[in-house]
Amino acid sequence: MTGETTAEASAAAVSGMGSGFLLDPATYMAGAAKGFTGLDFYFVGRAGVLGEVDADLASAALVFFSPDVVRTNWEQGKGVMDRVDASQALAECCATWADGHLADDVDWARLAELAGKVVAAAPAVGAPLFAGWRQLPVPEDPKQRALHQLNVLRELRMARHGAAVVAMGLDIADAVRHRTPGMLGIYGWPEASLPDGFAARWDEAERLTNVGSARDYAVLDDAEAADFVRLGEAALAAVS
């Protein structure tokens, strides 16, 4: 498998595995216990690896959210705890979710090893959240470790996709309207009609995402790439 085909074949697992703990109400209950009041835990937790920066920098790294939504939540969560500590707290929610929602019949240790190999070798250029999350402590437990590393790769793919969307000249809000219309309110964008031909241009951006990710996955040899794709599919099936 080439790096590009590996990126394409693993996209569902890389993009999807992290969404479980990020959408789980238990994650926000844990945030509330630390003093956060809602989605501010999401924004500060994801982007807190950047440190105590202005909301514009956090917005630039998060890519697909309205800058107003980022600023509101970034400032709302200010002072609750150190920004980097908030990211570590969100990572701990990831680990907790892995314990409660991932079945045992997957070789999590192998998946963690392969995902970790990509994480360690991938160039961080243009991917600030990936670079920050790569520096966080990685759990020892195989399930927790695998999900953690997949979530780090999720940040990497998000950055590559953001770059592809921009390179295609697509409006960020339109990208959200096309890909996740049911979450427009959370992302902070109003409903609107998509331009003619948008879907085809978005598909091309998705292809460019895989092209941009090719070097990231080129560190895996053919056997490792096949294992990574197979185990990613198994991981998705193992979520309860």
Q: Please give the pLDDT value at position 156.
A: 98
C-alpha distance from residue 87 to each of 5, 22, 41, 158, 190 (Å): 31, 12, 9, 17, 29
* Residues 141, 128: Cα–Cα separation, whole Å: 26
Backbone region of residue 3 per phi and psi (left: phi > 0; alpha: psi in -120 to 50; beta: other values): alpha
Q: Please give the pLDDT value at position 122.
A: 98
| Contact assessment for residue 20 and residue 103, using Cβ atoms and an 8 Å cutoff | no
* Residues 231, 223: Cα–Cα separation, whole Å: 12
Q: Please give the pLDDT value at position 54.
A: 98
Q: Please give the pLDDT value at position 233.
A: 98
Q: Hey, is 54 helix, strand or coil?
A: coil
Q: Please give the pLDDT value at position 9.
A: 98
* Residues 68, 91: Cα–Cα separation, whole Å: 25
Q: Please give the pLDDT value at position 96.
A: 98
What DSSP string runs through 107-154?
A: -HHHHHHHHHHHHHHS--TT-HHHHHHHTSPPPSSHHHHHHHHHHHHH
| Domains of the chain by residue range | 3-237
pLDDT in tens, the chain (240 residues): 999 999 999 999 999 998 999 999 999 999 999 999 999 999 999 999 999 999 999 999 999 999 999 999 999 999 999 999 999 999 999 999 999 999 999 999 999 999 999 999 999 999 999 999 999 999 999 999 999 999 999 999 999 999 999 999 999 999 999 999 999 999 999 999 999 999 999 999 999 999 999 999 999 999 999 999 999 999 999 999
> Backbone phi, then psi, for 165, in 5-degree steps?
-60, -45
| Contact assessment for residue 155 and residue 145, using Cβ atoms and an 8 Å cutoff | no
**pTM for this one?**
0.97
